[in-house]
Amino acid sequence: VRDTGIGIAEDKQQRIFQAFEQVDESMTRRFSGTGLGLAIASRLVEMMEGRIWVLSEVDKGSEFHFTAHFELTQEEVPANEPLLKVDLNGLRVLIVDDNLTNCRILEEMLASWNMQTQSINRGSDTLEVMHANQSAGQPFDLVLVDANMPFMDGFSVAAAIKQDSKLGSAVIMMITSSDGQNEHARCKDLGIAAHLIKPLKQSELFNSIAETLGMSGTPQDKARSATAELARQIPPLKILLAEDSLVNQKLALALLEPHGHEISVVLNGRDAVEQRKSRHFDLILMDVQMPEMDGLEATRLIRKYEEETGEHVPIIAMTAHAMKGDRERCLEAGMDDYVSKPVRVRELFRTIEDCLHHDSAAEQTDESTIQKTPAMQQTAHGSESKAAEGEPMQHDHEGTKSIINWQQAMEKSEISSEALSELGQLFLTEAPRLQAEIREALKQNDAQSLRRAAHTLKSSAALFEARPAAEAALRLEMLGKENKMDEARDAFEKLELEFNRLLPAVAAHIDSTTIDKE
């Protein structure tokens, strides 16, 4: 291992292999070294019956050598994980890392795949740089953030992005030095799309970016085989679906009914509470934003009712959230878990299986009458981080501003083109109605109705991988949440522009599907 650093004087070359030794005490302050690295390396080499030494001249650098004995493995060595066959050409990536070397390594990796990069070394500069690029018409497709930075760490950076009404839909990947469950939970809470562990392998980074941006290239038959395996682990269930969106209702039915589940549908939280009191269900899928009574209040009333009966029906929230704190609100209301909209079938089945497993485990330990606390509920995910959280509205190969990506929508929802066309027909009816509701909410200065209608419109557009339209709806939702009605009126013009482009595109895809079928 050769470097071109400060070098080591000959009379000090043996000392550097001892613990807590530096050639010069000032090096600890200048280079953040502790003096342990070479001592550890020396001990490892010794344990492997080898030796380690250095050749060095002051101001000319150092050259380290080591020998070691290795046994030959008797097992077949797997090949390196291949890169997925996808095109990431031209994607714009912002790298946020205080370590210049890490930035350079990431820049070189990404440049080798023809991606455009920009690096900054302070987390506090992130929003300014992102706003500048967005104003210039070149928003970043992806933000790679290091978790461990001074002053403003990666999680604080992610939180600031997600709370920004103009940047809240940004796709963020976090790079950390550990794989702890707490970091998985923090990533999920903040809507971070992926969590990568150092040191990064080139193939791992490439594949993670491809999968996060919906370009996984996974063959349909392989994906459906994995889904079928998950589905087989879940017995037929009686499920209550509380959802006011026709598109999301139809999607849930298309995903669940083929696997033998019996679905009852209600349009608001009030009806969900009444149905829970009058009928038996194995599971409740609860939308968060609904008229008359939202999913959080409905869940609280159901849990209050269950305190009297001693029962506990798992409740999974379905929400197209991208905002900090939504996870805590779901858990505090008494929900067991949640999935993001647009609902992805594997994430849904995995979450259902987790909830059923934990619910039945509680019964076996005679704890079925105990209300699950948020701390208990957070363990429902195990050690797996669901990348679908905050799942981005994706790109096609022609650029980031494409109106729609029908093929990716089919692959990610794992439904047929015909089934997606049926959802498209419903969307063509529902979207204008939701736009009218938004228009009326703006006229009446009704921030709550604005937020709810924009939330539903966002999740429906995201189902068709219509990123510009979904982002326009997201901005209105966040402005409604913040009660910024004047800004929302300006933002509504952008939403109308995007949906005037999107609806004809959906109709054209439906027509082409019909022609192909004929």
**Structural contact between residues 241 and 263, judged by C-beta atoms closer than 8 angstroms:** yes
Residue 226, pLDDT score: 64
Tokens of 188: 């999920």
Interatomic CA distance for residues 445 and 479, integer angstroms: 12
SS3 416: coil
Instruction: Return the H-helix or E-strand segment holding 491.
Output: helix 485-517
DSSP for residue 11:
G
pLDDT at 243: 93
**Average confidence (pLDDT) per 10 residues, the chain, 518 residues:** 85 77 49 67 92 89 92 70 63 92 91 90 93 85 91 92 79 82 77 85 84 60 63 90 91 88 94 95 92 93 94 89 66 87 81 79 45 35 34 38 76 79 92 95 94 90 87 89 91 93 90 62
Mean pLDDT, the chain, integer: 80
φ/ψ of 283, rounded to 5, equals -160, 145
Q: Which amino acid is at 17?
A: F
- The DSSP code for 341 is S
Half-sphere exposure of 329 (CA within 13 A, CB side): 15
Q: What would the two tokens of residue 468 be?
A: 């510009």
Helix ranges (DSSP H) in 233-377: 246-256, 269-278, 295-309, 326-333, 345-364, 374-377
Residues comprising the chain, all counted: 518
The alpha carbon of residue 494 and the mean position of all alpha carbons in its chain are separated, in whole angstroms, by 25
Q: How far apart are CA 71 and CA 439, in angstroms?
A: 72
DSSP of 23-63, one letter per residue? SSTHHHHHH---S-HHHHHHHHHHHTT--EEEEEETTTEEE
Cα–Cα distance list, 493 to 144, 442, 477, 482 (Å): 31, 12, 14, 19
Residue 502, pLDDT score = 93
The per-residue pLDDT for 369 is: 37
Beta-bridge partner residues of 197: 176
Give the three-class secondary structure for 446.
Answer: coil
Strand-pair partners of 1? none
Nearest Cα to Cα of residue 66 among 81, 55, 80: 55
Q: Is 456 exposed, middle or buried (0-12, 13-18, 19+ CB in 10 A)?
A: buried
What pLDDT does 237 receive? Answer: 94
pTM of the model: 0.57
Encode pLDDT of 106-148 as tens digits: 999 998 888 899 999 999 999 999 999 888 878 898 999 999 8
| Amino acid in position 273 | V
Q: Residue 511: which residues within 8 A CB-CB, separation 6 or more?
A: none
> If you search the block for the tokens 């009686």, which residue do you land on?
238
pLDDT tens-digit readout, 233-255 = 889 999 999 999 889 899 889 88
